[in-house]
Amino acid sequence: MKKSISIILFFCSVLIADVWQSSNIQGTNIFSIKNEKNQVFEISCNKKQSSVLLKDSIGKINPTNVYAIMSIDNVRRTFASPLNVKNIDDISNWNEILKYLQTADRFYVASSIGGFYFEPTNSTSELNNLLTICTQFISNSKNNSSKKNNLPLIKPENPMEIYVKTSKTPKNALFEINSLDANLTINNVIVNGGNCETDLMPIIRKNRIINKVPKYPLELDKFDSLEVMAWECKRILEIQIETNYGSYFYTLN
């Protein structure tokens, strides 16, 4: 009798599939799914941005680069997590991913922390508004940009704070630009009159990378921090920052 019960329980556990769950927390819609190995794939969307998160069975999180979704018929679609609309190069590809997930009964996600299989049974019912919700930030951002462009720019005296941090090697210097203005756009950073080459480092907000490969022109929100590496530049004497307000010069002792 005990053996029969065990067999029934085994078949029940096999038949239980992964299910999508959705919630709304302070204006952010969260769509998440967990498989039998306790691995989690999550999409978070609000009016300002969308992001994806992948968590393995021991809780290790990869919030920045979830790369491949593969369908049951091996049609592969590669995408980068749209953590911020300013960092999306291919909007149509993101739309296709969302459309696919709305009806997928099996999909695979690959990232730097591993690959994970999910077999949801309720994609159509639970994700019926996924595409609408998780693309609203795109049109919202465009509207905000249009409003900004129509407003006259009043040049602030100092919209940034510069902080020289550390040197990774004796020949290189790292400094940080802290935005003090909500409408600041960085168009270029020139160190020592162009004698030092520079690279933009990933932008971090609230302990999450929101832009892994920053490019000019670069919009910063108020209190965002941007790190800049100056190569072959042991000593920084002058930093020139080209912005939407004009040029700013910072002389360092």
Confidence at residue 12, expressed as pLDDT on a 0 to 100 scale: 39
> Do 129 and 202 reside in the same domain of the chain?
no
Confidence at residue 73, expressed as pLDDT on a 0 to 100 scale: 47
Give me the DSSP letters along 85-139: GGG-S-HHHHHHHHHHHHH-SSEEEEETTEEEEE-BS-HHHHSTTHHHHTTHHHH
Percent of the chain with pLDDT over 70: 69
> Which residue segment(s) compose the domain that 83 sits in?
2-140
Confidence at residue 13, expressed as pLDDT on a 0 to 100 scale: 40
CA neighbours closer than 13 Å in the CB half-sphere of residue 90: 9
pTM higher than 0.85 for the full model? no
Confidence at residue 140, expressed as pLDDT on a 0 to 100 scale: 62
Q: CA-CA distance, 142 to 119, in Å (whole number)?
A: 35
> Do 65 and 167 reside in the same domain of the chain?
no
Task: Give the total residue count for the chain.
Answer: 253
Tell me phi and psi for residue 125, to 5 degrees: -80, -40
> Do 134 and 10 reside in the same domain of the chain?
yes
Confidence at residue 6, expressed as pLDDT on a 0 to 100 scale: 37
Number of domains in the chain: 2
CA neighbor of 67 nearest in space, from 54, 86, 85, 50:
54
Confidence at residue 91, expressed as pLDDT on a 0 to 100 scale: 64
> Do 96 and 182 reside in the same domain of the chain?
no
pLDDT tens series, the chain, 253 aa: 444 433 333 333 444 569 999 999 888 899 999 999 998 988 888 887 777 888 888 877 765 454 445 544 455 655 555 544 444 445 666 777 788 888 888 888 777 677 788 999 999 999 999 988 888 877 665 555 444 455 556 778 889 999 888 655 567 888 889 999 888 889 899 998 888 888 888 776 666 777 777 888 888 888 888 889 888 787 888 899 998 888 899 887 6
> Do 120 and 29 reside in the same domain of the chain?
yes
Confidence at residue 78, expressed as pLDDT on a 0 to 100 scale: 57
Confidence at residue 10, expressed as pLDDT on a 0 to 100 scale: 34
Confidence at residue 81, expressed as pLDDT on a 0 to 100 scale: 52
Q: CA-CA distance, 6 to 2, in Å (whole number)?
A: 6
What CATH number did the domain enclosing 204 receive?
2.60.40
> Do 129 and 183 reside in the same domain of the chain?
no
Confidence at residue 171, expressed as pLDDT on a 0 to 100 scale: 74
Cα angle for residues 47, 52, 208 (degrees, 5° grid): 85
